[in-house]
Amino acid sequence: MKIKVFTLFPEMLRPMLSQSILGRAIKNGLIEVELYNIRDYTQDRHRSTDDYPFGGGAGMVMSAQPIVDAFAANLPADFHGRRIYLSPRGQTLTQRVVEELAKEEDLALLCGHYEGVDQRALDQVIDEELSIGDYVLTGGELGALVVIDAVSRLIPGVLGSEESSEDESFSSGLLEYPQYTRPREYRGLAVPDILLSGDHAKIARWRRDRALELTYERRPELLENIEMDKKDRLFMKALREKREGEMP
């Protein structure tokens, strides 16, 4: 997948793209990320990228011209992919959306700053708006990084076999069960015995139960979309009864 990012601050993204799993994925050619500085496409001698909002109000608005020209200069006529503006007005990014994006050949991400982008630029070069959550960032760069990160880990080969937890599909849609590593005892706190038992069926059941329990306690709405087998349903029944027994 090739991801083109249009931003006034490409240096904000570079460190994240050079490290760890993303750094390796790019080095191995599994994803390509190209950063374009919108300022390189300005035409005035001050290289200005923003201006005052028509109608008044606080802050600045990013001008249409450099953005439209940056896209025109760098998206091939046959661009195959989605052109996305990161914005709190957009559709909220979920794992389902991430899965859809991961199927694309290419992505173009526009990062806005200040009070946003001249609507005419969005009308000309953007297919959709995407929000990484209901809060306000100083700019779209962190949003773009979140999209790149979440999409990349779904691309075959990006996660090594060590990282691509096979259990993830098993409990997907549920909150993750707790993990432990050495030592077996830390500050008097022991690792649950079952994880040391070597009984893989029992361990899988224990993890599934913990995932169900955590999800029930913290995010019960997620359980509506979970397929449950007989053992799951029995465990959930016991959970609910235990909870009712604790009710005042």
The one-letter code for the residue type at 138 is T
Binding of residue 13 to ligand 4GX (CB under 6 A) = no
Stretch binding ligand 4GX (CB under 6 A), from 15-23, 42-50, 67-75, 139-147: 139-147
| Burial class for 107, CB neighbours closer than 10 Å (0-12, 13-18, 19+) | buried
Are 113 and 138 in contact, with CB atoms under 8 Å apart? yes
What distances in angstroms separate CA 45 from CA 49, 71, 118, 169, one per listed residue? 11, 21, 21, 54
Nearest CB to ligand 4GX, comparing residues 134 and 229 = 134
Contact pattern from residue 105 through residue 124 relative to ligand 4GX, giving x for each residue in contact according to CB under 6 A and a dash for the rest: -------x--xx--------
The position carrying tokens 């969005």 is: 122
* Torsion-angle region of 173 (φ positive above 0: left; ψ -120 to 50: alpha; else: beta): left
Minimum CB distance to ligand 4GX, residue 145 (Å):
10
Binding of residue 88 to ligand 4GX (CB under 6 A) = yes
Binding of residue 66 to ligand 4GX (CB under 6 A) = no
Stretch binding ligand 4GX (CB under 6 A), from 16-24, 36-44, 85-93, 235-243: 85-93
Binding of residue 10 to ligand 4GX (CB under 6 A) = no
Helix axes 141-152, 20-27, angle to 10 degrees: 70
The one-letter code for the residue type at 191 is V
Minimum CB distance to ligand 4GX, residue 5 (Å):
13
Q: Which residues are at the interface with ligand 4GX (CB under 6 A)?
A: 86-89, 112, 115-116, 131-133, 135-137, 139-140, 143
